[in-house]
């Protein structure tokens, strides 16, 4: 669970960063994991 929350926090940070850059195109990242 701790690792999962860290990954989510990092993903949200990356998404915020991509919004802040204001590019004319967008990137979509899909991350999947299994236990």
Q: Of how many residues is the chain composed?
A: 35
Q: Quick one: tokens of 13? A: 């940070």
Whole-number Å distance between alpha carbons of 19 and 10? 14
The encoded tokens of residue 25 equal 């195109």
pLDDT of residue 18: 57
pLDDT in tens, 1-35: 788 888 888 877 876 665 555 555 556 667 777 76
CB-based contacts of 11, cutoff 8 Å, min separation 6:
29, 31
Every domain of the chain and the residues it spans? 1-35
């Amino acid at each position: 669970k701790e690792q999962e929350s860290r990954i989510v926090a990092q993903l949200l940070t990356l998404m915020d960063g991509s919004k802040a850059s204001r590019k004319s195109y967008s990137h979509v990242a899909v991350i999947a994991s299994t236990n």
